[in-house]
Amino acid sequence: MPEIINLLVAGTASATELVEAITKATEAALTRALKDQAFVEALWLLVKIPQAAKAESFSEALRAVGVAAPDNPSATDLVAGYDAAIEAVQRRSDGDVTDLGEMARQAGISALYSLIEERLPSLWEPTREDVRTTLATFVGPEKFGELSQRFLTNFSERTIQYYLDREIPRHLGPGNVVQSVGDMAVFDDAVRRHCAESTMIMRPFAKDWLGKSVYSEGKDISQKKLVGFTAVALKKVRKEFEIRSKAGENV
């Protein structure tokens, strides 16, 4: 985490300890994510919802994968249905709502909504048909790479912030790791940038995986198959975190 380490190191041993603790905790969280049903559901739906947008009946195709939505759903309807579908999975998991599951749910909502909004027409008031056609563009391998990377960027950022929120108060104040509230805004930007750069490594892999699975082999994407993809993607991201962290130690 070169930039993060630069921001943290203020001549105190606690800075190094803080970075090491957060790095290890983040890597461990990424390892556990594959066993969290809400995480798997959040990413799987990001594959299935764009596919539903290509179907003859968008709303019926959504309901077939567990996303309740009205006919001709708006972006808000889609996000609400996505949110409810993940909550339903959490309830079925013996009511075990984990922190990782919540972070995955929030990461997915942010990825889905932001990418739709960024690509809707800006020269006129977008219609619900515009929402559907925009979402349908994410069926292709290139856009899936972008969507899955956005999800993992959001998830990684939330994971790091989860631990920072618990550690930073112990290192806040004059002469400490973070000296003012103003420093936190700069620090948050560095975290976001670090996560986006670290997850970039899985984007070409995601593109190739979907292209091979759907377009070359004609296979449907089951949750089991997605878990296999995600295991490799997360391994790449964890390795990148490790490499960047070690590089930062030598800055």
Phi-psi region of 178 (alpha: psi -120 to 50; beta: other; left: phi over 0): beta
Q: Please count the other Cβ atoms lying within 10 Å of the Cβ belonging to residue 228.
A: 13
Rg of the chain in Å (alpha carbons): 19
Vertex 178, ends 175 and 184: CA angle to 5°? 150
CA dist 75 and 70 (Å) reads 11
Residue 232's pLDDT is 92
CA dist 155 and 105 (Å) reads 9
Residue 160's pLDDT is 84
CA dist 200 and 243 (Å) reads 14
Residue 105's pLDDT is 95
Judge contact between 80 and 105, C-beta under 8 A. no
CA dist 251 and 248 (Å) reads 5
Structure tokens at 79: 């996000």
Exposure on the CB side of residue 234, measured as CA atoms within 13 A? 22
Ordered mean pLDDT values, 10 residues apiece, the chain (251 residues): 47 54 74 88 94 93 95 93 94 77 94 92 85 92 92 91 74 63 73 87 92 72 89 88 67 44
Structure tokens at 165: 């929120």
Judge contact between 115 and 53, C-beta under 8 A. no
In angstroms, the first-to-last Cα distance of the chain is: 10
Its pTM stands at 0.83
